[in-house]
Amino acid sequence: MRGAAGTGDGADRLGDIWLRPEADDRCPEGSERLDAWRLVDVRVTGSRRSPADAERWDITLDGVEDFYGEPDDPYLEAGVSLHDERTWLGHCRDLSIILPPDDEPSGPPFQLLGCAPSEALSAALATGTRRSLRLDEAELQILDRTGARLADRLVSAPEISGWRPSPLGDGLLDIDLTDGPYPQIPVWARPVWNRWLTGPPTEPNLWAAYPAREREQ
């Protein structure tokens, strides 16, 4: 993003953000070309003062488009504004989208680290066939550090794509799955989850410090 107005000292991770093309005389408000689209799990990977305007920044972001993706023909001639549903983050005079090469290696979609396998799972791994490694529909139970059940997440028809001894303990395995849980935990909600993973809060009304969207988590 070139020519972004802002301080340039924002946090590395932005969470989910929306990009909204700006209107002008050639593309007035109401045009479908001005529809916003969302980037998920966005982080800042680079920034520098804009050579064209010392009061602006050129910023490089890394993120993934959501299910709906970018509009077919977004209007970018007047620039793009960014927001996170709560705060306007800035205005950019130009936008370049850089796609990774098709052959770029990617890690497994979801990993289970330090697993103590049951007898049934150990037998499936020992068999090692695709049929035995297909888990059908599975439920991921998320526990806090006291062992109390915190939340459930559905994992729809995953397959085990790899496994290996875990450095977290003897007899434990790190397991790769072809699919992760749904719904995923968004970046902006992870501080809330990290707090609960240590156990239930001991102070009252801690939720009041969070905006409405975080309270839903």
CA atoms within 13 A on the CB side of 107: 5
Enter the DSSP assignment of 166.
Answer: -
- The CA distance from 105 to 100, in Å, is 10
Question: What is the pLDDT at residue 100?
Answer: 64
Question: What is the pLDDT at residue 165?
Answer: 94
- The CA distance from 106 to 90, in Å, is 31
Token duo for residue 42: 């966005």
Question: What is the pLDDT at residue 209?
Answer: 65
Name the H helices within the chain: 119-127, 190-197, 212-215
Q: Are 64 and 35 in contact (CB under 8 A)?
A: no
Q: Are 63 and 17 in contact (CB under 8 A)?
A: yes
User: What residue type is 86 in one-letter code?
Assistant: R
Mean pLDDT by runs of 10 across the 217 residues of the chain is: 47 82 94 90 87 87 78 89 89 80 61 91 90 84 85 84 92 90 70 79 72 55
CA atoms within 13 A on the CB side of 90: 20
Question: What is the pLDDT at residue 116?
Answer: 92
User: What residue type is 166 in one-letter code?
Assistant: S
Instruction: Evaluate if pTM is beyond 0.85.
Output: no
Cis omega before residue 183 (within 30°)? yes
